[in-house]
Amino acid sequence: MSSTVSVTRVAEDRWEAAADDGTVVGQGDVSRRPDGRLFLSVDVWQDAAFDRLAAAMLADLPEPLHTLIGDEDHDRRVGWERLGFTVGRREWAYDLPTDPRVTGLGAVPLPAGVSILPAGEADEDRLRALDRAIREEVGAAAGLHPLPAELVSGPPGDTVVDPSKYAVAVRDGARSGAGRNDEDGGAYVGLVRVVRVRRRARVGLIAVRADERRRGIGRALLAHALDTLARDGVGFAWAEADASHAAATALLEGAGARRAGASLELVRP
């Protein structure tokens, strides 16, 4: 490959690397997750273009920066590490059946005093407040990390991009009207987000308030989400979870999930 590879930022979120004859030999893009983290992706047709393309992106973007690679992609890991990235966490990918006869969740009772608002029925303001509170708790303590967020953008500080995808656990509250709680106002204590993609679905987030954990609410939310999918004819879902967080992996594996691969999240602080 020519030593005169040039890199051009062709859009706000995209870069291209070209050889001296104008042939495109690589491209990169950046996406912002709902929690504000920036994730890089680099795809090169000639390996020697990687450093130049990635370095150009790093020069244009504020840190910290993140990227995801396959757990066994040694060459790409070495390339990112040359540029100052280190391993932030490992995520397991899971295939998750929805049939309650397979998951064993068909008979899971709701914890005492807890009800579940199906997807799309939660009050949006209270849902957003719950999401913010959970994320603040996770950031402040070594608690249960939620399953990772989708790669979608939204207003700064707002991680609930589409409220219709969330089911919510409510403590000591009854539903009324358009999915709002009654005058006594039960507390929103947990949530699950499911995104459907054709005949499959992705469980993108399961999270419970810190003072409500270890009471079976997360399991009840997962059971509700999978049962809803099964009744709609969706046979399988997929999910990812931080490999270091036993509660998240145990929740999925306890429902019959099988590991389908792993990825590494690399971070340049």
Average pLDDT, the chain: 85
* CATH fold match for the domains 6-91 and 93-259: yes
- The C-alpha atoms of residue 180 and residue 124 are separated, in whole angstroms, by 9
Distance (Å, whole) CA 96 – CA 101:
13
What pairing do the DSSP bridges indicate for beta strands 38-44 and 65-70?
A: parallel
Whether the pTM exceeds 0.85: the reply is no
Would you list the domain boundaries of the chain?
A: 6-91, 93-259
Architecture of domain 6-91: 3-Layer(aba) Sandwich (3.40)
- Could you report the per-residue pLDDT of 88-115, keeping only the tens digit for each? 989 899 999 999 989 998 878 889 999 9
Which superfamily is assigned to 93-259 in CATH?
A: Gcn5-related N-acetyltransferase (GNAT) (3.40.630.30)
Closest of 115, 148, 130 to residue 263, by C-alpha: 148
pLDDT in tens, 141-183: 433 344 443 333 344 455 676 899 999 999 985 443 333 344 4
Average pLDDT of the segment spanning 181-198? 78
Say yes or no to pLDDT of 215 above 80: yes
Q: What is the pLDDT of residue 242?
A: 87
**In the prediction, which pLDDT does 244 show?**
85
Cβ contact 241:91 at 8 Å: yes
40-78 pLDDT, tens digit per residue, is 999 998 888 999 999 999 999 999 999 999 999 999 999
Tens of pLDDT, residues 227-269: 999 999 999 999 988 888 888 899 999 999 999 999 999 999 9
Query: Would you say 40 and 65 are in contact if contact means Cβ atoms under 8 Å apart?
Result: yes
Would you give the end-to-end CA distance of the chain in angstroms?
32
pLDDT exceeds 50 at position 11: yes
